[in-house]
Amino acid sequence: MAGLDGALLGYTPWTIRVRCTPDAGTAIAEALTRRPDTYWVHLLSGGTEISCFAQSPDTVLLEKLPRTGRVLAMTAHSLLHGFALPDGWQGLA
């Protein structure tokens, strides 16, 4: 599986957290996985919250998602800089 380096295309990376009604978590998460600008979708809090990353040249996803009826709240943070782990790093001892 390959990934797109959106920064080279002027895309903005976002980390998004969505709180939704209990019956909607799986359906919204699956819809997010089908979007080409969204990756790393994860269900949290018993299926009532979703965490995901997106990279997009615009804010269409951020504008549409809060208007979805079963979305109760959403936070989105633009990633300013990503850091790579040093080669051979084994984590904290």
Size of the chain, expressed as the number of residues it contains: 93
Domains annotated on the chain, with CATH: 9-78 (3.30.70.920)
pLDDT, tens digit, for every residue of 9-60?
778 888 999 999 999 999 999 999 998 888 889 999 888 999 999 888 777 7
Q: Decide which of 2 and 61 is more confident.
A: 61
Please give the model's pTM, rounded to 2 decimal places. 0.75
Q: Edge-to-edge strands of the sheet including 38-44?
A: 38-44, 49-56, 12-20, 71-78
